[in-house]
Amino acid sequence: MRYDTLAQMLTLGNIRAGNKMIVMETCSGLVLGAMMERMGGFGSIIQLYPGDGPVRAATACFGFPKSFLSGLHEFPLNKVNSLLNGTFSAEMLSSEPKDSTPVEESNGELEGKQTAEQADEDNIVDAAENNAGEQRPMEIVPGDPENKEPKEKRSKRDYIQEKQRRQEEQRKRHLEAAALLGERNADGLIVASRFHPTPLLLSLLDFVAPSRPFVVYCQYKEPLLECYTKLRERGGVINLRLSETWLRNYQVLPDRSHPKLLMSGGGGYLLSGFTVVSDSLRADPSFKSCTGALDPHKAEEPAAKKQKCMESAS
pLDDT for 67: 87
Could you say which residues of the chain have pLDDT below 50? Answer: 95-117, 120-121, 123-125, 127-129, 131-143, 145, 148, 286-302, 305
pLDDT in tens, 106-160: 344 434 444 444 554 454 445 444 544 444 444 444 445 455 456 667 788 778 8
Residue 171 is predicted with a pLDDT of 84
Structural domain contains residue 303? no
Q: Is residue 284 part of a domain?
A: no
Q: Is residue 99 part of a domain?
A: no
Answer yes or no: is 72 within a domain. yes
* Residues of the domain holding 174: 3-91+158-278
Q: Quickly list DSSP for the chain.
A: --HHHHHHHHHHTT--TT-EEEEEE-STTHHHHHHHHHHTT-SEEEEEESSSS---HHHHTT---HHHHTTEEEEEGGGHHHHHHT---GGGG--S-TTHHHHHHHHT---S---HHHHHHHHHHHHHHHHHHHHHHHHPPTT-GGG-S-HHHHHHHHHHHHHHHHHHHHHHHHHHHHHHHHT--BSEEEEE-SS-HHHHHHHHGGGBPTT-EEEEEESSHHHHHHHHHHHHHH-SEEEEEEEE-----EE--TT--EE-S---S---EEEEEEE---HHHHTSHHHHHHHHTTHHHHHHHHHHHHHHHHHHH-
- Does residue 165 lie within any of the structural domains? yes
pLDDT for residue 159: 82
- Residue 246 belongs to a domain with what CATH number? 3.40.50.150
The reply to whether 81 falls in a domain is: yes
110 located within any domain: no
Number of domains forming the structure of the chain: 1
pLDDT at 138: 45
Specify if 291 maps to a domain.
Answer: no
